[in-house]
Amino acid sequence: MVTVIGVKFKHQCKCYYFDPRGEVFRRGDSVIVETAQGIECAQVVIPNTQIEEEKVVGDLRPIVRAADEDDFDQLKLNQKNEKDAVRICRQRIAEHQLEMKLIRAEYAFDRSKLTFYFTADGRVDFRELVKDLAGIFRTRIELRQVGVRDETKLLGGIGICGRELCCATWMTDFVPVSIKMAKEQNLSLNSAKISGICGRLMCCLKNEEDTYEYLNAQLPSVNQRVRTPEGTVGQVSAVDVLRQKVSVVFDSEKDDEKEVREYRVEELKFTPYRKKDRKDEENAAPEENAENKEKKAPEKRERQGNKQRGQENRSQENRGQENRERKERGGRGNWQEHRRGKHDQRKDQGHDAP
């Protein structure tokens, strides 16, 4: 076991472990740490705790010191200069006529580097822009191109749920989201309703995917025939996934009328709707796979034998057809040669050919 503290850097949700060097910190304290990017100021989110050494990725670096008033003044100065840097950089981008959208600027804590984040449709040649900015700010300049999701994470905002964006508060990494998840949750496929501020599918669709897959596996599918507690058979017209209720349609005794009743899923008898997963089949026990192969081996050999016999029969038919065509061609050739020989004989005797 090793004693660590967990810290987070600004605009990042991922937690990093550092060695407190025997000092005790509380949640919310600010510390100065040394990273691969240089000296940075971070906030403690996990106080002193003991974890297993296997959970520590890489070398466990010690903190430099606890942040003091001078460090807070330095942070305020950096934030003020970042706004000026954004304004100047936008002017230079317009002068160089570059097709790029500047998002924000960020100073390193020790002002050893100034990073500009931007978005663009394609690759941008910003070499001349970097030279101008380095001459103005007298520090190392880095321009980093990000996607629309990262742009929203850096800027932050309020989602359609009324809360802060997940990517800007607690999400550590972006997860792949597909339209299949919206279909699984019976949501409207209108892009305006299932897309976030970034214009991509909402990340929260992934959060409830497993729950909906489990609930849908216990429900019948729409248009499936089910048997009710009364013993009658009806057709499913709609399902309520969260309430686990099913609407069943029956043909009424009256003409051109249908009756709809609602049942709990436990009251109905039907074949559960389950999707086949290839991964489950691939992960099956080796003994089961071997047994299935042994059962299917005779059938496979029989199919191969039938296929081979069919090919032999077709080849025999082809050879027979070729022999018949060859005989026909040979008969016509002999008759023509006989006519030519008779014609030459009459010509030698002084008679004209007929």
Could you say which of 271, 292, 313 is where a domain stops?
292
Q: Which residues contact 255 (CB under 8 A, 6 or more apart)?
A: none
What proportion of the chain, given as a percentage, has pLDDT over 70? 75
Burial of 187 (0-12, 13-18, 19+ CB in 10 A): middle
Across 37-41, 99-103, 179-183, 306-310, least confident range: 306-310
> Looking at the predicted structure, is the pLDDT value of residue 283 above 50?
no
> Looking at the predicted structure, is the pLDDT value of residue 138 above 80?
yes
Q: What is the pLDDT of residue 326?
A: 64
Token digits for 22?
């025997």
Asked if residue 142 and residue 93 are part of one domain, the reply reads yes
pLDDT tens-digit series, residues 88-131: 999 999 999 999 999 999 999 989 999 999 999 888 899 999 99
Q: Span 186-205, mean pLDDT?
A: 89
Asked if residue 158 and residue 142 are part of one domain, the reply reads no
Token digits for 76?
């305020």
Per-residue confidence band for 56, with pLDDT thresholds at 50, 70 and 90: confident
Structural domain boundaries, residue 48: 2-67
- On whether residue 34 sits in a domain, the answer given is yes
DSSP-based three-state secondary structure for 323: helix
Asked if residue 115 and residue 86 are part of one domain, the reply reads yes
- How far apart CA 353 and CA 127 sit, in angstroms, is 97
- How far apart CA 348 and CA 108 sit, in angstroms, is 116
Per-residue confidence band for 279, with pLDDT thresholds at 50, 70 and 90: very low
Could you say which of 67, 98, 116 is where a domain stops?
67
Could you say which of 18, 49, 67 is where a domain stops?
67
- How far apart CA 63 and CA 150 sit, in angstroms, is 28
Asked if residue 140 and residue 99 are part of one domain, the reply reads yes
Beta partners for residue 195, in sequence order: 201
- On whether residue 338 sits in a domain, the answer given is no
> Looking at the predicted structure, is the pLDDT value of residue 304 above 70?
no
Q: What's the CATH code of the domain at 277?
A: 2.30.30
- How far apart CA 73 and CA 71 sit, in angstroms, is 5
The structural domain count of the chain equals 4
> Looking at the predicted structure, is the pLDDT value of residue 245 above 80?
yes
Question: Residue 3's Cα: distance from chain center in Å?
Answer: 37
Beta carbons of 64 and 32 less than 8 angstroms apart = yes
Q: Sign of the CA dihedral 19, 25, 26, 31? A: negative
- How far apart CA 107 and CA 33 sit, in angstroms, is 15
Per-residue confidence band for 288, with pLDDT thresholds at 50, 70 and 90: very low
Asked if residue 46 and residue 96 are part of one domain, the reply reads no
Q: What is the pLDDT of residue 144?
A: 93
Q: What is the pLDDT of residue 281?
A: 41
The per-residue pLDDT of the chain, averaged, comes to 80
Q: Please choose, from the candidates 175, 184, 173, the residue with its C-alpha nearest in 3D space to the C-alpha of residue 202.
A: 175
Q: Which helix (H) or strand (E) holds 258?
A: strand 258-264
Among 6-20, 73-87, 335-349, the range with the most confident prediction by mean pLDDT is 73-87
Pairing mode, strands 38-51 and 63-66 = unpaired
Q: Span 170-193, mean pLDDT?
A: 87
Asked if residue 8 and residue 43 are part of one domain, the reply reads yes
Pairing mode, strands 245-251 and 258-264 = antiparallel
> Looking at the predicted structure, is the pLDDT value of residue 278 above 50?
no
Asked if residue 194 and residue 260 are part of one domain, the reply reads no
Distances from the Cα of 71 to the Cαs of 2, 42, 53, 202, in angstroms? 28, 11, 31, 38
> Looking at the predicted structure, is the pLDDT value of residue 301 above 80?
no
Q: What is the pLDDT of residue 302?
A: 62
Q: What is the pLDDT of residue 290?
A: 46
Q: How many CA atoms lie within 13 A of 248 on its CB side?
A: 26
Q: What is the pLDDT of residue 332?
A: 47
Q: Span 188-213, mean pLDDT?
A: 89
DSSP H helices, the chain, are 69-96, 127-137, 148-155, 166-169, 179-184, 191-194, 204-207, 209-217, 278-282, 286-348
Q: What is the pLDDT of residue 307?
A: 63
Asked if residue 257 and residue 195 are part of one domain, the reply reads no
> Looking at the predicted structure, is the pLDDT value of residue 351 above 70?
no
- On whether residue 333 sits in a domain, the answer given is no
Q: How many CA atoms lie within 13 A of 209 on its CB side?
A: 15
- How far apart CA 117 and CA 151 sit, in angstroms, is 8
CB neighbours (10 Å) of residue 36?
A: 7
